[in-house]
């Protein structure tokens, strides 16, 4: 093998590592198909081979594809946001690519797509979809299209469409104006000035499902591959492409192609769907049954004067709850009412913890106690007071859980929670586990990673005071190998991450003291001091306003920060970075500015319903820039979340550098989906196009909203189907 071939192979292996990381999403759970999955093309969207179709995947389908042909590799993550709307993020590599932006003969490209199905297929009409390819990116793959697909005979599907941009570059039959054809060096800018402009060409093809596993395809492509012809010497002998798709039992698609008369291609597509992957847990033990009271037993109040019986009831409840993985921190037992201070350490679905504790209460508490009041406590903060009637539990145990929800009252727990019982605090917990930290999309090396060991500890001094920390020891990795210098004149608040990774071994990730409180009704507070994250120390204060039954919340956070030493131990350093910038904006050398000590945000949160949740943060970021971050997530009752965010500040795209503004995709996978056991742990995956200084926010632990919301009615109702589990 020649050195050039070996180098190309090594580069493909590195890009393959990124693909495998994305495939992990598809491997979390099999795609339990309730609807047929469409075939996916080399752009990672429903399509034939290189051309799109108008098919849409089942709602909430998450796919990851890794495809290659000739000198091109494409890795795509696609999510069916709604039944008709889908979005895609693509990372591509082109070999032997000359000109600006290429590194060692290879060019890396990031792009985003949007598709919307205007019409669904019926017996008499085709489905119709409008698509925007590379709608936010460099414009390398920029195109728009309108495409229709119809089954014309059993298993035989016909597709035809018209395209602009790349899909209008071969065999055009018309023109709709001037279309810019310059590749945008920074990327990240919506290419609206190109939409539906320029030459228009037609494309189409056929697919035939031999059976439920095998499909054969043929297509006519309207892509001339002009850019690749000019910069990598690509040649085409034909505009016809042919392929086959094979579908495995779990939905995985393996595809083989013969393309443009002289190229061979292949692709692997993996799928999962949060709506069909099941609720985390399911292999846990069955809950205790409700213990009905004997007729007339509720009138017996003799136990109220018997101290031994009162203590026995409390001890019995604590033991039964502990068997379920629930901690009874305190109990206020009255003649007809019991208030329980609950700490849930096991169940990701709050309703499941409440349901199991309520059944334990029917077995442990005297028969005269009719009203059960369960108050979940997190970091010493009472979240809400969940009020149940014992008679409803007895009557509805085998009925629909929604009827139980309708009869359940939730109110603010401020001033209602009993104190923690003696012996609950202080409390010490620790863990010692391996870790992997990954950085992606560095143009010099698309995948970098460190692996090592992490020790974490938490000492809960009182219910509200928590001392915690984390220490890492790297065993191997290359996160610190990057020598790429930011082209921005902003203070270095994130672009020094490679130096922190290189010198921080061992490293204190964070070491902090936090206080959590309930200053008033509907209010929650947090104050944190110490080494807050790997790059910054200081103090952070937060206040959250949220009503128990409301979908809306408001928060405010202010931070005072000091930059930590690069070795991530106990020292701090100057907030002014003075090294010269040799590739600064417009090529003018300069010096870094002083990092502001104070930053913070005002935040608004809203649950739109139907699983969609939004957040907007407005304020000052670490580099001193002012702006807002918009987040939109689709959340599922089983704990999955898939969403995106974008940050826009007063930093221009030129000052920000490559990527133009901060943006990314967020995926939350509940650990219970992997183990089948109930768990409050989760894996958060952030796919960020680039790490830059603009729009950077302090990464402080234990922000309030996510802790508070899950025990309030709008969120608790989503998991109420687990109440009787």
Share of the chain above pLDDT 70, in %: 88
Do 542 and 651 lie in one domain? The reply is yes
Query: What is the number of structural domains in the chain?
Result: 3
Do residues 327 and 249 both lie within one domain?
A: no
One domain, residues 177 and 305: no
Is the model's pLDDT at 25 over the cut of 80?
no
Query: For residue 587, what pLDDT is reported?
Result: 45
pLDDT value for 678: 79
pLDDT band at 725 (very low <50, low <70, confident <90, very high): confident
Cα distance between residue 191 and residue 658, in whole Å = 15
What confidence tens digit (pLDDT) does each residue in 607-626 have?
999 899 999 999 999 999 99
CATH number at residue 81: 2.40.160.40
Reduce the secondary structure of 125-183 to three states and give it as a string.
CCEEEEEEEEEEECCCCCEEEEEEEEEEECCEEEEEEEEEEHHHCCCEEEECCCCCCCC
**Separation between Cα atoms, residue 493 and residue 155, nearest integer Å:** 56
Write down the pLDDT at residue 613.
95
Q: What's the Cα-to-Cα distance from 651 to each of 488, 625, 654, 657, rounded to whole Å?
A: 10, 6, 8, 10
In a domain, 283, yes or no: no
Condensed to tens digits (0 to 9), the pLDDT of residues 70-102 reads: 999 999 999 999 999 999 999 998 988 877 667
Q: Which residue has the higher pLDDT, 666 or 703?
A: 703
pLDDT at residue number 8? 44
* 193 and 325 both lie in a single domain: no
Opening angle at CA 63, ends 57 and 64, nearest 5: 150
Tens-place pLDDT, residues 663-679: 888 888 887 776 777 77
**What pLDDT digit, counting tens, does each position of 59-76 carry?**
999 999 999 999 999 999
| Residue 316 burial (C-beta neighbours within 10 Å; 0-12, 13-18, 19+) | middle
Least confident segment among 501-515, 618-632, 688-702: 688-702
Query: What is the number of H-type helices and E-type strands within the chain?
Result: 11, 35
Percent of the chain surpassing pLDDT 90 = 64
Specify if 432 maps to a domain. no
- My answer on whether 373 and 493 are in the same domain is no
Residue 397, phi-psi category: left (phi > 0), alpha (psi -120 to 50), beta (remainder): alpha
User: What are the tens digits of pLDDT across the range 343-397?
Assistant: 998 898 889 999 999 999 999 999 999 999 999 999 999 999 999 999 999 999 9
Can you tell me the mean pLDDT for 173-194? Answer: 78
Residue 180 domain-assigned (yes or no) = yes
Q: For residue range 440-499, what is the model confidence (pLDDT) as tens digits?
A: 766 666 677 889 999 999 999 999 999 999 999 999 988 877 766 666 678 889 888 888
Higher pLDDT, 683 or 298: 298
Distance between CA atoms of 313 and 362, rounded to whole angstroms? 11
Q: Count CB neighbours of 152 within 10 A.
A: 10
| Residues 11, 152 within the same domain | yes
* CA separation for the pair 18, 21 (Å, rounded): 5
**198 and 77 co-located in one domain:** yes
288 phi, psi to nearest 5 deg = -65, 140
Q: Are 204 and 344 within one domain?
A: no
Find out whether 347 and 353 touch, Cβ atoms under 8 Å: yes
Question: Does residue 584 register a pLDDT over 60?
Answer: no
Residue 643 has pLDDT above 70, yes or no: yes
The enclosing H or E element of 23 equals: helix 3-27
Question: From the CA atom positions of the chain, what is the Rg in Å?
Answer: 29
Q: What is the pLDDT of residue 466?
A: 97
User: Does residue 725 belong to any structural domain of this protein?
Assistant: no
Residue 336 and residue 268 in one domain: no
523-558 residue pLDDT tens: 999 999 999 999 999 999 999 999 999 999 999 999
Do 35 and 144 lie in one domain? The reply is yes
pLDDT beyond 80 at 177: yes
Give me the chain's average pLDDT, please.
88
Q: Are 204 and 51 in contact (CB under 8 A)?
A: yes
Most confident of 5-9, 15-19, 317-321: 317-321
- CA–CA dist 151, 122 (Å, integer): 9
pLDDT reported for residue 10: 40
**pLDDT tens digit string along 257-299?**
999 999 999 999 999 998 876 555 556 778 889 999 999 898 9
Domain span at 149 = 3-272
């Amino acid at each position: 093998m020649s050195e050039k071939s070996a180098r190309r192979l090594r580069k493909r292996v590195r890009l393959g590592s990124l693909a495998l990381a994305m495939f992990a999403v598809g491997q979390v759970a099999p795609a339990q198909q309730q609807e047929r999955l469409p075939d996916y093309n080399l752009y990672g969207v429903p399509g034939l081979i290189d051309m799109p179709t108008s098919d849409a995947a089942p709602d909430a389908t998450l796919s990851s594809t890794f495809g290659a042909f000739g000198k091109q590799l494409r890795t795509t993550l696609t999510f069916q946001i709604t039944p008709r709307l889908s979005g895609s993020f693509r990372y591509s590599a082109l070999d032997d690519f000359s000109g600006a932006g290429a590194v060692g003969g290879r060019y890396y490209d990031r792009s985003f797509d949007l598709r919307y199905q205007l019409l669904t297929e019926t017996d008499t009409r085709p489905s119709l979809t409008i698509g925007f390819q590379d709608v936010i990116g460099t414009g390398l793959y920029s195109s728009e299209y309108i495409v229709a697909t119809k089954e014309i005979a059993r298993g035989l599907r016909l597709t035809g469409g018209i395209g602009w941009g790349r899909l209008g570059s071969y065999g055009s039959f018309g023109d709709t104006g001037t279309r810019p054809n310059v590749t945008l060096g920074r990327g990240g800018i919506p290419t609206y000035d190109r939409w539906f402009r320029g030459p228009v060409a037609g494309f189409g093809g056929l697919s035939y499902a031999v059976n439920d596993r095998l499909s054969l395809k043929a297509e006519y492509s309207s892509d001339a591959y002009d850019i690749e012809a000019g910069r990598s010497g690509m040649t085409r002998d034909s505009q016809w492409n042919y392929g086959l798709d094979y579908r495995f039992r779990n939905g995985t698609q393996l595809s083989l192609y013969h393309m443009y008369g002289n190229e061979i291609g292949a692709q692997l597509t993996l799928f999962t769907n949060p709506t069909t992957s099941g609720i985390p847990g399911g292999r846990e033990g069955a809950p205790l049954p409700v213990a009905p009271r004997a007729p007339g037993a509720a009138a017996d109040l003799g136990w109220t004067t018997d101290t031994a019986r009162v203590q026995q009831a409390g001890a019995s409840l604590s033991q039964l709850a502990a068997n379920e993985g629930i901690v009874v921190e305190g109990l206020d037992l009255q003649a007809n009412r019991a208030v329980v201070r609950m700490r849930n350490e096991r169940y990701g679905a709050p309703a499941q913890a409440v349901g199991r504790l309520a059944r334990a209460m029917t077995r442990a508490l005297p028969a005269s106690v009719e009203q059960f009041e369960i108050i979940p406590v997190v970091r010493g903060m009472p979240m809400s007071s969940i009020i149940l009637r014992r008679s409803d539990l007895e009557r509805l145990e085998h009925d629909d859980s929604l009827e139980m929800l309708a009869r359940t009252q939730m109110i603010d727990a401020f001033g209602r929670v009993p104190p923690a019982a003696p012996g609950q605090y202080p409390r010490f917990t620790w863990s010692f586990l391996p870790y992997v930290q990954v950085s992606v999309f560095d143009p010099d090396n698309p995948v970098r990673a460190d692996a090592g060991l992490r020790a974490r500890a938490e000492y809960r001094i009182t219910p509200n005071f928590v001392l915690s920390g984390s220490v890492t020891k790297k065993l191997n990795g290359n996160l610190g190998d990057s020598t790429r210098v930011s082209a921005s004149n902003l203070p270095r608040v994130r672009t020094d991450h490679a130096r922190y990774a290189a010198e921080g071994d061992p490293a204190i990730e964070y070491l902090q003291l936090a206080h959590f409180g309930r200053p008033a009704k509907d209010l929650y507070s947090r104050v944190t001091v110490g080494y807050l994250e790997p790059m910054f120390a200081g103090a952070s204060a937060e206040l959250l306003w949220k009503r128990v039954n409301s979908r809306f919340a408001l928060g405010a956070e202010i931070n005072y920060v000091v930059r930590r030493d690069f070795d991530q131990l106990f020292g701090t350093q100057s907030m002014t970075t003075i090294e010269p910038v040799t590739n600064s904006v417009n090529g003018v050398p300069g010096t870094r500015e002083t990092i502001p000590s104070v930053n913070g945000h005002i935040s608004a949160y809203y649950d739109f319903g139907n699983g969609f949740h939004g957040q907007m943060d407005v304020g000052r970021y670490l580099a001193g820039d002012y702006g807002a971050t918009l987040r939109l997530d689709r959340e599922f009752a089983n704990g999955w979340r898939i969403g995106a965010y974008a940050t826009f500040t007063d930093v221009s795209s030129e000052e920000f550098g490559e990527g133009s503004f901060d943006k990314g995709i967020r995926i939350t996978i509940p650990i219970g989906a992997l183990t089948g056991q109930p768990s409050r742990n989760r894996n958060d995956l952030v796919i960020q196009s680039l790490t830059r200084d603009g729009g950077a926010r302090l990464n402080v632990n234990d922000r309030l909203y996510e802790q508070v919301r899950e025990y309030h009615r709008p969120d608790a109702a989503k998991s109420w189907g687990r109440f009787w589990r």
